[in-house]
Amino acid sequence: MSQAVDMLADIEIAGLTADSRSVEPGYLFAALPSVIADSPMNGINFVPEALRRGAAAVLGPPGLAANLEAPIDVPVIEDEDPRRRLSQLAARFFAEQPRTIVAVTGTAGKSSVADFVCQIWLAMGISGGSMGTLGINSAPLQRPLAHTTPDPVVLHEALRDLAAAGVDHLALEASSHGLEQSRLDFVKVMAAAFTNLSRDHLDYHANEEAYLQAKLHLFKVVMGPGGTAVLPQNQNLGQDLTNRLRDACQAGAHKIWTFGAGGDIDLRLREISSAGQRLTIAAQGVDATLDLPLIGAFQADNVLCAIALVLACGETPDDVFAAAAQLTGVPGRLQAVGGNVYVDYAHKPDALRAAIDALRPHTKGQLVVVFGCGGDRDKGKRPIMGAIAADLADQIIVTDDNPRSEDPSLIRAEVLFACPGAVEIGDRGIAIATAINGLAPDDVLLITGKGHETGQTIAGVTHPFDDRDVARKILAERRS
């Protein structure tokens, strides 16, 4: 710990926050630099408000004190990496964590893997929980989260609360934003998994290499030496990426567990039945067959990843396989809502492709897709997703997702550029109703982009909206 941080030894710190609005007397305020250059949201601009609210100390980057408009009479801690330092302070302030923590990163599948891991633990009689896009979920504690990987103060407070509630096993989603901003640093991760990599978040990361490096932070920095890395072994990942993952894990002195189809793999998928999600798997000399109520070959990868993570923590194959046989679907992930209508969170190109591909074998008639793209996010993926829908779906309705601060009609236009034959209906509720009411008996409808979400953000205002509830209501009206 730096000499500057040692200054806190003589100060009673009542709490920590990087939000000046949350400062209370005795708090340390983290004046973090904005992730956006020249943004007015730079933490230094909010130091005066934090002081008015009673901040007892301020943390920030080098030069913070010199750049304040007036000297202040509380300790100013300047650090080369204030985000990482805040994570360290939060870990020390809240201290307690569940004794077994696993983390999963990758472009797609994080929520499903974390949920499946939690389901397996619970089926084994272990007090488990998950944390990520779906919030904090455990038997004694449930809590919504604003971000997949919350800021370190929220994160470590939640870890403390989970441990205090008796949750001793936790599966975390590790987003690229959270990893790059050191939010997960000082979380005691025992095993970490990588699912896959494809285009995403290029509105934030400079390029695809920067995006990958953010993911690798989980293995290079967050998980300490001697952890276990759970890595996919398949042709889709590519040999170069496979080698880079292995190199990063070996440099961190991690053990490596592999999962996938093939021969020399720790958790092997021997067979997946074409008639349904029947998986024949093997690990450590133990074979098992799982019949799961899940649609899509990509779900097999998620299940394998989850099983491998649990095995990597030392559980026996017999127990893990028996528990995995009880897995059920994850909210908003190819979730059937009735009448051949499915809702999925797919809001990325590869995820949209996977969801459509998953439903094609179950479609005797037309495969109809309702989707849109979010505002204030990577604009480059909009025509890519439009082209995927045009190539794979029979009928397409382009609607609004979460436009946020952008003009919804411009977002739709960028999608429609690559699928000019699609129907454009901006109102999401009307789009879903139009699709459902136009279905023939053998048609299948896929509604993507929002999945489990219960709100739609338009012009900065979030309105109640749940694709599943909307679809169920329309289906009920159609039957009556």
CATH number of the domain bearing residue 39: 3.40.1390.10
Q: Are 184 and 297 contained in the same domain?
A: yes
8 A C-beta contact, residue 367 and residue 406: no
Q: Are 319 and 244 contained in the same domain?
A: yes
Q: Are 250 and 167 contained in the same domain?
A: yes
8 A C-beta contact, residue 386 and residue 419: yes
Q: Are 245 and 129 contained in the same domain?
A: yes
Q: Which two tokens stand for residue 360?
A: 């094609």
Q: How far apart are CA 163 and CA 122, in angstroms?
A: 16
Alpha carbon 138 to chain centroid, angstroms: 17
Which residue matches tokens 């649609």?
A: 295
Q: pTM for this structure?
A: 0.92
Residues facing 448 on adjacent strands: 344
- Domains of the chain: total: 3
Q: Are 312 and 342 contained in the same domain?
A: no
Q: Side-chain half-sphere of 275: how many Cα atoms within 13 Å?
A: 2
Domain contains 397: yes
Domain contains 85: no
Q: Are 132 and 185 contained in the same domain?
A: yes
Q: What is the pLDDT along the chain (480 residues), one digit of tens a residue?
A: 454 456 676 788 999 999 999 999 999 999 999 766 555 568 999 999 999 999 999 999 999 999 888 888 999 999 999 999 999 999 999 999 999 999 999 989 999 999 999 999 999 999 999 999 999 999 999 999 999 999 999 999 999 999 999 999 999 999 999 999 999 999 999 999 999 888 566 666 678 888 899 999 999 999 999 999 999 987 667 788 888 999 999 999 999 999 998 778 999 998 887 556 899 999 999 999 999 999 888 899 999 999 999 999 999 999 999 999 999 999 999 999 998 999 999 999 999 999 999 999 999 999 999 999 999 999 999 999 999 999 999 999 999 999 999 999 999 999 999 999 999 999 999 999 999 999 999 999 999 999 999 999 999 999 999 999 999 999 999 988
Residue 19 CB neighbours (<10 A): 15
Q: Are 459 and 316 contained in the same domain?
A: no
Q: Are 391 and 266 contained in the same domain?
A: no
Domain contains 88: no
Q: Are 256 and 367 contained in the same domain?
A: no
Domain contains 399: yes
Q: Are 124 and 239 contained in the same domain?
A: yes
Q: What share of the chain is helix, strand, coil (3-state, %, to 5)?
A: 40, 20, 40
**Domain ends where: 281, 298, 324?**
324
Q: Are 103 and 211 contained in the same domain?
A: yes
Q: Are 295 and 153 contained in the same domain?
A: yes
- Amino acid 220 reads K
8 A C-beta contact, residue 136 and residue 161: no
Domain contains 87: no
Angle 355-356-359 (CA atoms, 0-180°, nearest 5)?
90
Domain coverage including residue 452: 335-479
CATH number of the domain bearing residue 123: 3.40.1190.10
Q: How far apart are CA 217 and CA 381, in angstroms?
A: 24
CATH number of the domain bearing residue 373: 3.90.190.20
8 A C-beta contact, residue 96 and residue 163: yes
Domain contains 242: yes
Domain contains 89: no
